[in-house]
């Protein structure tokens, strides 16, 4: 198999299944693991060109749900390339399902079973840690962008929402569906205890300080103490086998904030 992999999650899982040697090129979001970062990049996975993909002489294009455009995918099929896209929900079960299906598609079923077990055990270790009990019921917000129109946040049917739910935390944006703008008034009224931001939005202290000073955040519990933590976009927005690391970061940041308030 000569695979063009489109989408960071698909690429990471292929390598975790020990099928990285099948991958001949990836899209511009695929930089983990290091071996994937060194491969030829074919642009953003939603905007692939037929010529760019065919130049890699692939037998398969394996891509995330939004891989496209559709015209490119149809042209690749006509050219004899096997095109498969994956549309699992952004949940733990969705991750396990994606690992299983990808494992079947690249003839790595045994590796997929082992990887699922490894990820599940790592997640369970975090979810059953003593710290988790201290953060249940805490109100959280995940911000993916901040511009003149307002804060774009993770609502229901997103991976951040699933992460918060699994930890017994409240996503204050859960009344919104997917990624939507949230009004300043709604943020202030919901009063989050802790806020997380996507690393592509900003992970340095300057970006965090700027968000703490946002008029909708500064008067909230999170804003008053600048309880804002950056999470890897790859592991907190996509279905990554490293999801246990993100769970642990959320738990640590929230528990640390709670402990500071008690002191």
Taking only the tens place, the pLDDT of each residue in 43-75 is 999 999 999 999 999 999 999 999 999 999 999
Q: What confidence score (pLDDT) does residue 214 get?
A: 94
Torsion sign over Cα 200, 206, 209, 215: negative
Q: How confident is the model at residue 204 (pLDDT cuts 50, 70, 90)?
A: confident
Could you give the percent of the chain with pLDDT greater than 90?
90
Q: What confidence score (pLDDT) does residue 223 get?
A: 95
What number is the average pLDDT over the span 149-168?
A: 96
Tell me how many degrees the CA angle 61-26-36 measures, rounded to the nearest 5: 130
SS3 of residue 121 by DSSP: helix
Q: How confident is the model at residue 4 (pLDDT cuts 50, 70, 90)?
A: very high
Q: What confidence score (pLDDT) does residue 148 get?
A: 79
Q: 171 and 161 in contact (C-beta within 8 Å)?
A: yes
Q: How confident is the model at residue 263 (pLDDT cuts 50, 70, 90)?
A: low
What number is the average pLDDT over the span 6-11?
A: 96
pLDDT at 34 over 60: yes
Name the burial class of residue 24, with classes exposed (0-12), middle (13-18) and buried (19+) by CB atoms within 10 angstroms of its CB.
middle
What number is the average pLDDT over the span 5-19?
A: 97
33 preceded by a cis bond (ω within 30 of 0): yes
Q: 73 and 45 in contact (C-beta within 8 Å)?
A: no
Of 244, 219, 209, the residue nearest 129 (C-alpha): 244
User: pTM of the predicted model, to two decimals?
Assistant: 0.92
Instruction: Answer left, alpha or beta for residue 10, where phi above 0 means left and psi between -120 and 50 means alpha.
Output: alpha
Q: What confidence score (pLDDT) does residue 147 get?
A: 81
Torsion sign over Cα 28, 86, 20, 247: positive
User: pLDDT digits over 224-262, tens only?
Assistant: 999 999 999 999 999 999 999 999 999 999 999 876 665
As a whole number of angstroms, the longest Cα–Cα distance in the chain is 65
Name the burial class of residue 38, with classes exposed (0-12), middle (13-18) and buried (19+) by CB atoms within 10 angstroms of its CB.
exposed
Whole-number average pLDDT of the chain: 95
> Alpha-carbon distance 49 to 40, whole Å?
14
* DSSP state letters, 223-261: HHTT-EEEE-HHHHHS--TTHHHHHHHHHHHHHHHHHHH
Q: What confidence score (pLDDT) does residue 260 get?
A: 63
What number is the average pLDDT over the span 10-34?
A: 97
């Amino acid at each position: 198999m000569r695979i063009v992999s489109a989408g960071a999650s698909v690429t990471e899982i292929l390598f975790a299944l020990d099928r990285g040697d099948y991958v001949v090129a990836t899209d511009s979001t695929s930089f983990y693991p290091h071996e994937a970062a060194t491969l030829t990049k074919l642009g953003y996975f939603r905007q692939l060109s037929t010529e760019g993909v065919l130049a890699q002489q692939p037998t398969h294009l394996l891509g995330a749900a939004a891989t496209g455009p559709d015209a490119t995918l149809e042209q690749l099929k006509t050219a004899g390339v096997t095109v498969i896209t994956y549309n699992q929900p952004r949940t733990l079960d969705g991750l396990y399902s994606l690992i299983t299906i990808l494992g079947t598609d690249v003839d790595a079923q045994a590796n997929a079973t082992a990887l699922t077990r490894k990820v599940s055990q790592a997640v369970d270790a975090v979810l059953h840690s003593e710290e988790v009990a201290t953060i249940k019921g805490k109100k959280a917000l995940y911000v993916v962008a901040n511009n003149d129109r307002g804060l774009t946040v993770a609502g229901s049917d997103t991976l951040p929402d699933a992460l918060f739910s699994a930890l017994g935390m409240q996503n204050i944006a859960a009344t919104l569906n997917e990624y939507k703008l949230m009004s300043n008034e709604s943020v202030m009224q919901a009063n989050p205890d802790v806020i997380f931001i996507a690393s592509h939005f900003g992970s340095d202290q300057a970006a965090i300080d700027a968000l703490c000073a946002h008029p909708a955040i500064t008067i909230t519990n999170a804003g008053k103490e600048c309880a804002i933590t950056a999470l890897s976009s790859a592991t907190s927005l996509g279905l990554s086998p490293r999801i246990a690391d993100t769970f642990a970061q959320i738990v640590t940041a929230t528990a640390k904030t709670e402990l500071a308030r008690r002191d």
